[in-house]
Structure 1
Amino acid sequence: MMPTNETAGCPVHHGFDPLGDAYIADPYPIHTAVREETPAFYASAIDMWVITRYDDIEAVLKDPGTFSAQVGQKPVFPLSEEAQEILKKGFRAYPVMSDCDPPRHTRIRKHNMTGFSPRRIASLEPKVWAKATELVDAIRPGRVDLVNALTYPLPAYMIFTFIGFPDEDMDMLKSWCGNRIAFSWGRPSADEQREIATNMTNYWEYCENFVAKRAAEPVDDFTSDLIRIRQENPDSLSLEDITNVAYGLSFAGHETTTSFTGNAIRQLLSNPEQWAAICADRGLISKAVEEILRYDSSIPAWRRITTRAVDVGGVEIPARAKVLILLGAANRDPKHFEEPETFDIHRGDARRHLAFGKGIHYCIGAPLARMEARIALDLLAQRAPDMRLVEDQDFDFPANVSFRGPRSLLVEWPG
Structure 2
Amino acid sequence: MTSIDAAASCPVHHSFDPLGEPYIADPYPIHSAVREEAPAFYAAAIDMWVITRYDDIEAVLKDPGTFSAAVGQRPVFPMSEEAQGILKEGFHAYPVMSDCDPPRHTRIRKHNMTGFSPRRIATLEPKVWAKATELVDAVEPGQVDLVAALTYPLPAYMIFTFIGFPDEDMDMLKGWCGNRIAFSWGRPSADEQREIATNMTHYWKYCEDFVARRAAEPVDDFTSDLVRIHLADPDALSLADITNVAYGLSFAGHETTTSFTGNAIRQLLSNPEQWAAICADRSLIPKAIEELLRYDSSIPAWRRITTRAVDVGGVRVPAEAKVLILLGAANRDPKHFEEPESFDITRGDARRHLAFGKGIHYCIGAPLARMEARIALDLLAQRVPDLRLVADQDFDFPANVSFRGPRSLLVDWPG
In the superposition, the TM-score normalised over structure 1's length comes to 0.99
Q: Say if 2:255 is the partner of 1:255.
A: yes
Q: Say if 2:29 is the partner of 1:29.
A: yes
> Which residue pairs with 2:73 in the alignment?
73
Question: How far 1:6 sits from its partner (Å)?
Answer: 5.6
Work out the CA distance in 2 between the residues paired with 1:6 and 1:217.
59
SS in 2 for 1:411: strand
> Which residue pairs with 1:338 in the alignment?
338
For structure 1, the residue ranges without an aligned partner over 5 or more in a row are none
Question: How far 1:3 sits from its partner (Å)?
Answer: 4.3
Paired residues of 1:53 and 1:330 also in contact (CA < 8 A): yes
Matches within 5 A, 1:238-253: 238-253=238-253
Which amino acid letter does the alignment assign opposite residue 279 of structure 1? C
Work out the CA distance in 2 between the residues paired with 1:311 and 1:41.
12
Q: Say if 2:179 is the partner of 1:182.
A: no
Paired residues of 1:147 and 1:258 also in contact (CA < 8 A): yes
The Cα offsets for residues 85-131 of structure 1, whole Å up to 9 and x where unpaired, read as 00011100001200000000000000000000000001100000000
Question: How far 1:5 sits from its partner (Å)?
Answer: 7.0
The Cα offsets for residues 313-344 of structure 1, whole Å up to 9 and x where unpaired, read as 00000000000000000000000000000000
SS in 1 for 2:174: helix
The Cα offsets for residues 141-187 of structure 1, whole Å up to 9 and x where unpaired, read as 00000000000000000000000000000000000000000000000
Work out the CA distance in 1 between the residues paired with 2:6 and 2:178.
39
Identical positions, percent: 88
> Which residue pairs with 1:121 in the alignment?
121
> Which residue pairs with 1:389 in the alignment?
389
Question: How far 1:56 sits from its partner (Å)?
Answer: 0.1
Which amino acid letter does the alignment assign opposite residue 353 of structure 1? H
Paired residues of 2:6 and 2:318 also in contact (CA < 8 A): no
SS in 2 for 1:71: coil
SS in 2 for 1:46: coil
User: Cα 1:6–1:372, aligned 2, differ >3 Å: closer, same or farther?
Assistant: closer
Paired residues of 1:310 and 1:316 also in contact (CA < 8 A): yes
Matches within 5 A, 1:329-368: 329-368=329-368
Question: How far 1:66 sits from its partner (Å)?
Answer: 0.2
Work out the CA distance in 1 between the residues paired with 2:286 and 2:363.
18
Paired residues of 2:7 and 2:42 also in contact (CA < 8 A): no
For structure 2, the residue ranges without an aligned partner over 5 or more in a row are none
Work out the CA distance in 1 between the residues paired with 2:97 and 2:122.
23
Paired residues of 1:3 and 1:12 also in contact (CA < 8 A): no
What value does the CA root-mean-square deviation take over the aligned residues? 0.7
User: Cα 1:284–1:414, aligned 2, differ >3 Å: closer, same or farther?
Assistant: same
> Which residue pairs with 1:375 in the alignment?
375
Matches within 5 A, 1:214-233: 214-233=214-233
Q: Say if 2:132 is the partner of 1:132.
A: yes
Work out the CA distance in 1 between the residues paired with 2:131 and 2:76.
36
Which amino acid letter does the alignment assign opposite residue 137 of structure 2? D
Which amino acid letter does the alignment assign opposite residue 175 of structure 1? G
> Which residue pairs with 1:192 in the alignment?
192
Paired residues of 2:19 and 2:399 also in contact (CA < 8 A): yes
The Cα offsets for residues 11-69 of structure 1, whole Å up to 9 and x where unpaired, read as 00010000000000000000000000000000000000000000000000000000000
User: Cα 1:5–1:238, aligned 2, differ >3 Å: closer, same or farther?
Assistant: closer
The Cα offsets for residues 174-214 of structure 1, whole Å up to 9 and x where unpaired, read as 00000000000000000000000000000000000000000
Work out the CA distance in 2 between the residues paired with 1:3 and 1:19.
23
Paired residues of 2:96 and 2:104 also in contact (CA < 8 A): no
> Which residue pairs with 1:285 in the alignment?
285
Question: How far 1:134 sits from its partner (Å)?
Answer: 0.3
Work out the CA distance in 1 between the residues paired with 2:132 and 2:379.
8
Work out the CA distance in 2 between the residues paired with 1:202 and 1:169.
13
Paired residues of 2:18 and 2:401 also in contact (CA < 8 A): yes
Work out the CA distance in 1 between the residues paired with 2:6 and 2:67.
23
SS in 1 for 2:98: helix
> Which residue pairs with 2:407 in the alignment?
407
Question: How far 1:4 sits from its partner (Å)?
Answer: 7.0
Work out the CA distance in 2 between the residues paired with 1:231 and 1:173.
27
Paired residues of 2:128 and 2:375 also in contact (CA < 8 A): yes
Size of the aligned set, in residue pairs, is: 413
SS in 2 for 1:99: coil
> Which residue pairs with 1:152 in the alignment?
152
Which amino acid letter does the alignment assign opposite residue 374 of structure 1? R
User: Cα 1:167–1:368, aligned 2, differ >3 Å: closer, same or farther?
Assistant: same
Work out the CA distance in 1 between the residues paired with 2:104 and 2:341.
39
Which amino acid letter does the alignment assign opposite residue 295 of structure 1? Y
Paired residues of 1:4 and 1:12 also in contact (CA < 8 A): no
Which amino acid letter does the alignment assign opposite residue 119 of structure 1? R
Work out the CA distance in 2 between the residues paired with 1:134 and 1:201.
32
> Which residue pairs with 2:61 in the alignment?
61
Which amino acid letter does the alignment assign opposite residue 376 of structure 1? A
Question: How far 1:234 sits from its partner (Å)?
Answer: 1.1
Moved more, 226-235 or 175-184: 226-235
Work out the CA distance in 2 between the residues paired with 1:6 and 1:201.
41
> Which residue pairs with 2:322 in the alignment?
322
Question: How far 1:364 sits from its partner (Å)?
Answer: 0.1
Work out the CA distance in 1 between the residues paired with 2:96 and 2:37.
35
Paired residues of 1:230 and 1:237 also in contact (CA < 8 A): yes
